């Protein structure tokens, strides 16, 4: 057995790779032992997943939606009071997302000088927790995280086919995105980020029970005419895209092209399809 990322022998590896970190609420999307070796698994946890999970926007999202870490802790936020003093902002009802508490959620704060917990209403504290439309910027840690999920999600599909993972390992077309996720570089990989539905959206289940979608993903092949570079029905070339959404925050990465050309093509696809997310295109029609 070989590792999807470093291609080294991984027969003795013991760790099960979570495609999406457990700290984002994923318990089920995992790769079998050895698809990602212990070294790469460990590296990703420290150098790729942690920076993403600790980024301002994602930490605020985890706080707001009360998603516990692997150790069961919902992250706190650093806030500022109108008088300028720094406070630690805590969800007073652990495990309950802010929007489920009331239409005007309260948070608890602890100041540096006092352990007394005060309850404050929304708007009293200047903190990212209440910025509803926070869209993270595409940074190297962010796109490396998406690149890792993209390749692993593809491996999850290919693992169902005999020799499928070996094909992914040996296919050099995937080397750039593989190396970017595992080793990084000074160059950013383009990633399109936008909100496709509100963060607290409740969907209606078949039984009538409302539920939230934490994460969802899919692949999209966009056919392009090689000569004219426009979208084409009978293509010579097709660009592979991975689309991932976290509480309605959509991240799209072109798996073959780090430059902005891939995103230009995605932009044209969106334009042609009325800006609908590929996650929903052709799936919810009556
Ligand atoms: Zn490895």
| 21 Cα–ligand 1 center, Å | 17
Q: Give me the tens of pLDDT residue by residue for the chain, a chain 286 residues long.
A: 999 999 999 999 999 999 999 889 888 899 999 999 999 999 999 999 999 999 988 988 888 888 888 888 888 888 777 777 777 787 777 677 877 766 656 666 666 655 555 556 555 666 555 555 678 999 999 999 999 999 999 999 999 999 999 999 999 999 999 999 999 977 899 999 999 998 888 898 888 888 888 899 999 999 988 776 667 766 678 899 999 999 999 999 999 999 988 899 999 999 999 999 999 997 654 3
| 10 Cα–ligand 1 center, Å | 7
| 110 Cα–ligand 1 center, Å | 42
Ligand 1 ion: nearby residues, β-carbon < 5 Å: 3, 5-6, 37, 40
DSSP state string for 224-274: E-TTT-SB-SS-SEEEEEEEEEETTEEEEEESS--SHHHHHHHHHHHHHTT
Backbone angles phi, psi at 8, to 5 degrees: -85, 165
| 57 Cα–ligand 1 center, Å | 29
Q: How does strand 86-90 pair with strand 77-80?
A: antiparallel
């Amino acid at each position: 057995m070989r590792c999807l990322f470093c291609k080294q022998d991984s027969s003795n590896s013991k760790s099960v790779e979570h495609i999406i970190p457990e700290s984002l609420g994923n318990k089920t999307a995992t790769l079998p032992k050895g698809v990602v070796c212990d070294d790469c698994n460990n590296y990703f946890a420290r150098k790729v997943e942690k920076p993403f999970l600790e980024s301002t926007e994602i930490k605020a999202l985890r706080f707001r939606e009360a998603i516990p870490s692997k150790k069961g802790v919902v992250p706190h936020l650093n806030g500022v009071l109108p008088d300028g003093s720094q406070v630690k902002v805590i969800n007073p009802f652990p495990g309950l997302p802010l929007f489920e508490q009331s239409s005007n959620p309260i948070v608890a704060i602890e100041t540096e000088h006092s352990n007394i917990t005060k309850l404050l209403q929304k708007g009293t504290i200047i903190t990212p927790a209440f910025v509803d439309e926070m869209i993270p910027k595409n940074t190297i840690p962010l796109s490396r995280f998406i690149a890792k999920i993209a390749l692993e999600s593809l491996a999850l599909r290919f693992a169902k086919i005999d020799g499928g993972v070996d094909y992914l390992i040996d296919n050099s077309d995937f080397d750039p995105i593989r190396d970017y996720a595992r080793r990084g570089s000074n160059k950013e990989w383009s990633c399109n980020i936008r909100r496709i539905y509100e963060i607290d959206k409740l969907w209606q289940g078949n039984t009538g029970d409302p539920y939230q979608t934490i994460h969802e993903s899919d692949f999209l092949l966009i056919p392009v005419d090689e000569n004219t570079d426009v979208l084409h029905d009978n293509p010579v070339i097709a660009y592979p895209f991975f689309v991932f959404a976290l509480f309605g925050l959509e991240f799209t990465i072109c798996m073959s092209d780090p430059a902005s050309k891939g995103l230009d093509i995605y932009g044209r696809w969106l334009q042609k399809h009325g800006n609908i997310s590929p996650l929903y295109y052709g799936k919810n029609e009556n």
